[in-house]
Amino acid sequence: MSVSAAQVRDLRDKTGAGIMDCKKALAETNGDVDKAVDFLREKGLASAKKKAGRIAADGLVSSYIHAGGKVGVLVEVNCETDFVAKTDDFSDLVSDIGLHIAAMNPQYVRREEVPADVIESESNIFRNQALESGKPEQVIDKIIQGKIEKFYKENCLLEQPFVKDSDTNIEKLLTEAIAKMGENITVRRFSRYKVGEGIEKKSEDFAAEVAAMQG
């Protein structure tokens, strides 16, 4: 079928895809713009998977300070070239990831980074909980596996639901960014700081010691 320039322009505005890709998508979907958007998205996500193994050694180190200055984040997000690193789309992505880390407090970037002793400790806790609740022995391993998966989703950045859109997670957010920007993009590392974190208990202990001395 014939594809009009207005249809191509509309699709480009919605997706940011190239002119030829938009023409092909509209031809494949008989001019249905909504279906063409899905077509381009699926094509982009498939392409993104191929890019995921490429070396990403450029990018940005960015900071995010939560309102009031009580929580701060430093995060390094990598891409392949300085050209992409300087784009507004990449900068916005890094900013969103910093905001997410501030809000959701992940402990690791990905599940492969979780130390084996942490998983062992969590598994033992879950096993004891299951035993104490009277769960049959034959289902305990499945219960533990399910709880470990939940632990990963709660503590690993890539698996957490995105704070600005709970229908996606950070890994999918990165995959969509790869499809859009045409380069591999990864979160390498981050640090999160919260005012007073780690000293509250010491202050309470000190107050208790003072009270005991006065008593």
More confident position, 185 or 13 = 185
- In this prediction, residue 139 has a pLDDT band, given cuts at 50, 70 and 90, of confident
Question: Which CATH number covers residue 21?
Answer: 1.10.8.10
What is the C-alpha separation between 115 and 202, in angstroms, rounded?
A: 27
Which tokens in the block code for residue 10?
């509309």
Which tokens in the block code for residue 112?
């492969």
- Domain extent, residue 94, equals 58-111+156-197
30 plus 135 within the same structural domain: no
129 plus 107 within the same structural domain: no
Question: Which CATH number covers residue 105?
Answer: 3.30.479.20
79 plus 161 within the same structural domain: yes
Number of domains in the chain: 3
User: Hey, what long-range contacts does 120-124 have (CB within 8 A, 24 or more apart)?
Assistant: 122/147, 122/148, 122/151, 123/148
What is the C-alpha separation between 215 and 41, in angstroms, rounded?
A: 69
Q: What's the confidence (pLDDT) of residue 10? A: 85
Which tokens in the block code for residue 39?
């077509």
Angle 169-44-39 from CA coordinates, rounded to 5°: 105
Residue 124 domain-assigned?
yes
CB 66 within 8 A of CB 102: yes
Residue 190 has pLDDT above 80, yes or no: yes
* Across 7-11, 99-103, 192-196, least confident range: 7-11
82-97 mean pLDDT: 95
Residue 149 domain-assigned?
yes
Q: What's the confidence (pLDDT) of residue 112? A: 95
Residue 212 domain-assigned?
no
CB 41 within 8 A of CB 168: no
Question: Which CATH number covers residue 142?
Answer: 1.10.286
Residue 94 has pLDDT above 80, yes or no: yes
Q: For 202-213, how does the pLDDT look when each residue is reduced to its tens digit (9 = 90+)?
A: 555 545 555 555
146 plus 124 within the same structural domain: yes
- Measured between its terminal Cα atoms, the distance across the chain in Å is 90
